[in-house]
Each structure stands twice: as structure tokens, then as C-alpha cells.
A and B are shown apart, each in its own frame.
Chain A
Amino acid sequence: MAKVKSLDDLKKIKEEFLSKEELQKNGDKSLGIVQIKVAMATCGIASGAKKTMDYLINELDNRAIDAVVTQTGCMGYCYAEPTIEVTLPGKEPVVFGYVDEKRAGDIIEKYIQGGELVGDVIPVNYETIEEHNIE
């Protein structure tokens, strides 16, 4: 990896990453990839997020679904751990709570393969720094 020498170098890394991500998200549905983030902070792991993640990876593989499963930090929904965020190609991300192995199976079958919302969907209840404007 070449060292970052300027803000432009930094922006290049950003753009490369974003364009790669964009391709996965908004590509034609047949090309797009399902993105799954599993909240893997201490709290999530203690509630079984590691098992959920392993299950997701194996099961998606078994069903030959093209997906990227990554780990992320705490989403803040301790009451509903383990939590996962699923982004279907061309769709908004959806956060599911209480995802044990059984629910993970339901989510793959009904939401990822069938497009039907199942289980406990956690609504977005915050603004991001991009969304918040000076009043």
C-alpha cells in the first residue's frame, strides 16, 4: 500500500471503495450482491452473533446466494441482539433484531429469497450527520 501523501490520495481511496460498493448495491438485480452486516461488538458476540454469522455464511453458501457477510460494531440495539442489517440490491438497508440461527434461516428464505419482511424489523430512529441541517 502506497502511503497517503495528500487529501487527494485519501479521496482516491474513498472513491475507489464507494464505486466498488455502488456496483454491488445498485447493479442490475441479477448482478447485485446481497450485503449483510452482523453487529459484532462484545455485546452482540455475547448474545450469539458469532453463531448467527457462521450460520449465515454457511447457509448462503449452501443455497448458492451471492452475498457479502461482514462484521460491524454495535448498532446500539442491545435489547434485540443479535442484530443484522440486510441490504438487497437496489433496496434500502433493513435492520433485523433477535436474529438467532432459526430467524437467520427465516430471513434468508423469506426476505432475501422472497422479498417478504419477516420477524422483528427495527425502525431507523436517528438522524445521520449528513441528514441533520442547521435549523
Chain B
Amino acid sequence: MAKDKKQIRIALRNCGFINPENIDEYIARDGYQALGKALEMTPEEVIDEIKKSGLRGRGGGGFPTGLKWELTRKVEAEQKYVVCNADEGDPGAFMDRSILEGDPHTVLEAMAINGYCTGASKGLIYIRAEYPLAIERLKIAIGQAREYGLLGDKIFGKDFSFDIELRYGAGAFVCGEETALIHSMEGLRGEPTVKPPFPSESGYKGAPTNVNNVETYANIPVILLKGSGWFASIGTEKSKGTKVFALAGKVNNVGLIEVPMGTTLREVIFDIGGGIKSGKKFKAVQTGGPSGGCLTEKHLDIPIDYDNLIASGSMMGSGGMIVMDEDDCMVSVAKFYLDFTVEESCGKCAPCRLGNKRLYEILDTITQGKGTEDDLFKLRNLGNVIKDTSLCGLGQTSPNPVLSTMENFYDEYLAHVKDHKCPAGQCKALMSYIINPDACVGCTLCARVCPVDAISGEKKMPHVIDQSICIKCGACFEKCKFGAIFIE
């Protein structure tokens, strides 16, 4: 691979190149050829090709895709279903939305191939209602594919019929979990159930159901056209192909990137991402969303793949990657993710419903400057109990942001509870704005911008901030022309 090109676009091959509302443009870039080719092979041969490619589920779990298809194929049933999980819910992640908006036909084509392999005649796309443009383009794409006979009866003149419908989700994070997703499609509450039985045995309406993520599907046509050998030549030993990441946060070139598995975080953040904004210092990168963890400087040279990320205390997740700099407080970051999990917990099992709420409260106490060292012990203990006892993936991973920041930034937690200081200067309760009397000329500007009249002083005399009134809005700090106000 050329050194200056660190990305390979497989899942994103058509995004930004074709008009997503014109099926001819997709066909002009070899669209639907993989389906035609698959229908000339036996389902077993196609599954074998997917298995040999080494493709693993891109939704986060990393389960081998070919094996999943085979499991669904082996179950005998009158009716089977193929589902596309487009319930992308991680904060800051938009890989699936971009694929659906930029190249909807690739998902339809791959689902049809999946239907042929598993013996399903019906496909369902579970998509969140917050993605109106993706829904619109999918509807157009399905209409065009039906018109061309690429969905419907006797596709390519063969004895294979397949059609796709959309199912809308109300945007609950837990519905990305496949059993919860299936319940939601059935009109039940979006709550997970214990596996087994796996959806491949008993899924939608009790029928064998194969659920794959959008990005996983986007890889399928390429594997069949370029061959499993080509695909497997990209990546690391156990993680083949590429991964799309939504690079966000304090990095210069935020955007959607697709890199071969095995690329290092350093290459992603500094070469592709163009380094940290405003010349600040890199502090951490969060991968895996609310289920993942924070990685630090010492992890920058680890090749990114499913297993290495887990060994480093984080996970691949669906592909959100949020970069943080020296100004970010890691306790606040953990609190942010916990806030999200508490909101999104379905409430079915107690460890997740109650445990995460308690975790959040302890974190809140710490950021208020009222935490003790005992709280740190409780955080770790409770976090581990929630991980071990929760019903589904949401609860089993929700303490990760807390545990991984504690692991890598314990000093910062200690500073909050022992010295009652926030080293990054983000926790408002732990900082104070102070006027340096030697630098203050008494221009009165700060007193005039203060919304709560906390600043007093005579004209041309040093002013003072009354800490009991100050709300730490920072207005005085920004307005002072003499640099006389500092944060402690």
C-alpha cells in the first residue's frame, strides 16, 4: 500500500461517488453483480467464501459473519428472516447513516445475498426514525430495485424470491442489541432477553433470523466480486478487512475514515486526523462508545483490531472514535457516558437499572468536590458487579468508561477526591476565578459583565470576586483585557 494513503475504501467505496437516488450509478460501479454471481453458486459455496474472507460483525461484537449465516441456514423452518441492524446509537457515531445515505443499494444487495444463503425470503431493515434522509433514500432504492426485478420474485430469472421492508425504531440505544431489536420489531417493548435461544434459532416471530449490521453488509458484495483471498489479505491475523470510524473530538480533520485493520491509533489521529486542534497535547481517545473505554498515549502504537482493543481495556464497538486533549477532565468524560447509559437502560434488570444510577451519583459527587477516597473503591467495586451480573451487553459494558478512566487516569480521580482539584479545569465546582490585585487596574469591565454582581471594587482600584456568589460562568475571565483574572 502506498505510504501516503493509509485508507482503503471498501464499505465506503461508493459514498460520495454515486448519486444514491439513481440505481444506474450503482450498477455502473458493479452494483448487483455480486448478487448475480452468488445466485450462480450454491448457498454453501457463498457462505464458504464469506467464512474464508474472515469478515467479522462490524456492529461491535465481532462475531464471524460466515458462521452466523451458516447457523441460520442449518435451522429448518418454513419462514426465515434477514435483518439489517441500522439502529446506530453511540454518541458521535454516524458510519451507518453515511452508508445508508450514500450507498443504500449495497445494503439491499447484501441482504438479498444473505437471504439466498440462509433460506430467507424476507428482509427487514430496522432503522431509527431519527434518520429521515436515510429512510427516504432507502425507500427510493427499494422501489428502484423492485422495478429492475432485483428485489421481488425470481431474481435474475432464478428460483429465488426476496423482498425488503423497513421497520422504524424510536431511537433506543438498547435496541441495537439483537434480541431487543427483534422485540421492538414485533411491537413489544425493546427489552433484551437471555440468549440462548439465539435469533438464528428463534428470532423475529419465532422464526430463524439473521441479524447483521449495515457496515457488515456493505463489505459483502466486494468480498464476492474481489474474492475472499483479496479481502483476507487486508488486516491483521484475526481481524480482516477494514473498519470505518467516525473520527470526532479535538482533532483537526474530523470525519469519516476507513482504515485497514491493524492501523495504529497514532496513524489515525495524527496522520489522517491531522493531529490535535490548536496545538494542544493529546490526552486520550475513546473508542467503542458508551461500552468502550479510553486509551492513552501508551496505546497509540497498538495495531487496531478487535482483540487488541479488548486487551487494551476498550473495544471496537461500532466505530465511534472521540479524541480528547489536555483540557478534557476524565472524570467528567466518564460521567458523560454514564449519564447516557442511565438514560438508555431499559430497566429490566436491577444491576443495570440501579447500579448505573448509583455509579452516576458517585461520579457526580466527585465532580462536585465532595468525593472521598472511599468513593473510588466503591466505583470500582460496583462497576465490576454491574459488569458481572447484568442481563445484556448494555449493562455488561456500561461501567467500562469508568473503569478504564480509573485504570489510566487514577491520579486525576485522586486529585478530585484528595486535593479537591480538577487538573483539567473542567469541573466548575472545583475551580475558582480569582483577580490578581497586582495586575488589576480597576477598569470595572468585569464588574459590569458579571451576571450575578459577584465582583466589587472602587474605580481604578483592584477588584475582588465574592466566591460565595460567583457562578463560574467565566464572563469576567473572557472580558478582562489585562489578564488579571486567573483560574485556580
Q: Is B476 an interface residue (CB 8 A)?
A: no
Interface positions, chain A 30-54, Cβ under 8 Å from B, are 37, 39, 41-43, 45
Is A129 part of the binding interface, using a Cβ–Cβ cutoff of 8 Å? yes
Give the contacting residue for B7; candidates A6, A39, A126; CB below 8 A.
A126
Task: Check A132–B234 contact: CB distance below 8 A.
Answer: yes
Do A4 and B148 touch across chains, with their CB atoms under 8 A apart?
Answer: yes
CA distance A131 to B403 in the complex (A): 42
Q: What residues of A have a CB within 8 angstroms of the CB of B256 in the complex? A: 74, 76, 78
B165 nearest CB across to chain A (Å): 20
Report yes or no: A76 in contact with B1, Cβ–Cβ below 8 A: no
Q: Is the CB of B253 within 8 A of A77?
A: yes
B36: contacting residue among A10, A17, A73, A74, CB under 8 A = A10
Chain A 4-29 residues near chain B, CB threshold 8 A: 4-7, 10-11, 13-14, 17-18, 21
CB atoms of B10 and A129 under 8 A apart: yes
Taken residue by residue from 82 to 115, chain B's Cβ proximity to chain A (1 for < 8 Å, 0 otherwise) reads as 0000000000001001100111000000000000
Q: Which B residue sits closest to A11, measured CB to CB?
A: B33
B37 at the interface (CB under 8 A from A): yes
B24, A129: Cβ atoms under 8 Å?
A: no
Q: Given A5-B156, A7-B33, A129-B222, A79–B24 Cβ distance below 8 Å?
A: no
A117 to B254, CA, bound (A): 24
Q: Contact between A42 and B102 (Cβ–Cβ < 8 Å)?
A: no
Asked if A128 lies at the interface with its beta carbon under 8 angstroms from chain B, I say yes
- Find out whether the CB atom of A3 lies under 8 angstroms from the CB atom of B257: no
Question: B15-53, CB under 8 A of A: which get 1 and which 0?
Answer: 111111100110110101100110010000000000000
**Stretch of B173-181, B225-233, B329-337, B436-444 on the interface side:** B225-233
Cβ of B27 and Cβ of A14 under 8 Å apart? yes
Whether the pair A135, B5 counts as a contact (CB closer than 8 A) is no
The verdict on B150 contacting chain A, using a C-beta distance below 8 Å, is yes
**In the complex the two chains form, what is the Cα distance from A24 to B53 in whole Å?**
38
Residue of B nearest to A5 (CB): B157
Q: Which of B10, B149, B233 contacts A3 (CB 8 A)?
A: B149
Contact mask for chain A residues 71-98; partner B; CB cutoff 8 A; 1 contact, 0 none: 1111111111000010000000000000
B103: chain A residues at CB < 8 Å are 73
Tell whether, in the assembled complex, residue A7 and residue B37 are in contact, meaning their CB atoms are under 8 Å apart: yes
Determine the residue in chain B with the shortest Cβ distance to A83.
Answer: B16
Over the window 90-131 of chain A, the binary record of Cβ atoms lying under 8 Å from chain B Cβ atoms (1 yes, 0 no) is 000000000000000000000000000000000011111100
Quote the shortest CB–CB distance from A50 to chain B (angstroms). 11
B5 in contact with A125 (CB, 8 Å):
yes
Partner of B9, one of A79, A85, A129: A129
The reply to whether the CB of A134 lies closer than 8 angstroms to some CB of chain B is: yes
Partner of B133, one of A4, A5, A42, A132: A42
Chain A residues near B272: list those with CB within 8 A.
Answer: 125
A74 to B101, Cβ gap below 8 A?
yes
Interface size on B, residues (CB 8 A): 58
Q: Is B370 an interface residue (CB 8 A)?
A: no
Cα of A1 to Cα of B253 in the assembled complex, Å? 43
- Of B8, B131, B156, which is within 8 A of A126 by CB? B8
- Interface residues in B235-267 by Cβ distance below 8 A to A read 252-258
Residue from A11, A13, A14, A74 in contact with B16 in the complex, judged by beta carbons closer than 8 Å: A74
Q: Does B12 contact A (CB under 8 A)?
A: yes
Instruction: Give the Cβ gap from A37 to chain B, nearest Cβ, in Å.
Output: 7
A70 within 8 A of B: yes
B33 touches which one: A10, A71, A125, A132 (CB < 8 A)? Answer: A10
**What size tier do the contact residues of chain A reach?**
35 or more
Enumerate chain A residues within 8 angstroms of B98, measured Cβ to Cβ.
Answer: 41, 43, 73-74, 76
Is the beta-carbon distance between B253 and A73 smaller than 8 angstroms? no
- Say yes or no: A73-B101 contact (C-beta < 8 A), given A4-B32, A7-B156, A13-B27: yes
- Whether A10 and B27, one on each chain, are in contact in the complex, defined by CB atoms closer than 8 angstroms, is yes
B94 touches A43 (CB 8 A): yes
Question: Could you tell me the distance between the alpha carbons of A41 and B95 in the complex, rounded to whole angstroms?
Answer: 12
Given A7-B33, A74-B16, A77-B253, A17 and B27 contact (CB-CB distance below 8 Å): yes
Q: How far is the CA of A134 from the CA of B233 in the complex (A)?
A: 6
Check B258–A126 contact: CB distance below 8 A.
Answer: yes
| B101 lies within 8 A of A42 (CB) | yes
Q: How far is the CB of A15 from chain B (nearest CB, A)?
A: 8
With a cutoff of 8 Å between Cβ atoms, the chain B residues found around residue A3 in the complex are: 148-149
Task: List the A residue with the shortest CB-CB distance to B15.
Answer: A73
CB distance from A8 to the nearest CB of B (A): 9
Interface centre among A18, A39, A125 (most CB of B within 10 A): A125
Residues of B within 8 A of A42 (CB): 94, 97, 101, 131, 133-134
What is the bound-complex CA distance between A42 and B137, given in angstroms? 12
Contacts of A5 in B (CB 8 A): 149, 156-157
Chain A nearest CB from B101 CB (Å) reads 4
Task: Determine the chain B residues whose CB is within 8 A of the CB of A78 once the complex forms.
Answer: 254-256
**Would you call B254 and A76 a contact (CB within 8 A)?**
no
- B283 within 8 Å of A by Cβ? no
Shortest distance between the CB of B264 and any CB in chain A (Å) = 16
Instruction: Rank and list the top 5 A-B pairs by shortest CB-CB distance, nearest first.
Output: A73-B102, A3-B149, A75-B16, A126-B7, A76-B256
14 extra interface residue pairs, beta carbon distance < 8 Å, beyond A41-B15, A74-B102, A76-B12: A4-B148, A4-B156, A6-B156, A10-B36, A41-B101, A42-B133, A43-B98, A45-B133, A71-B19, A74-B98, A76-B256, A125-B272, A127-B7, A128-B9
Pull 26 A–B residue pairs with CB atoms less than 8 Å apart, ordered by A.
Answer: A1-B147, A5-B156, A7-B37, A10-B33, A10-B36, A17-B24, A37-B16, A37-B19, A41-B98, A42-B94, A72-B16, A73-B15, A73-B20, A73-B98, A73-B102, A76-B255, A78-B254, A78-B256, A79-B255, A126-B6, A129-B8, A129-B222, A129-B226, A132-B8, A134-B230, A134-B233
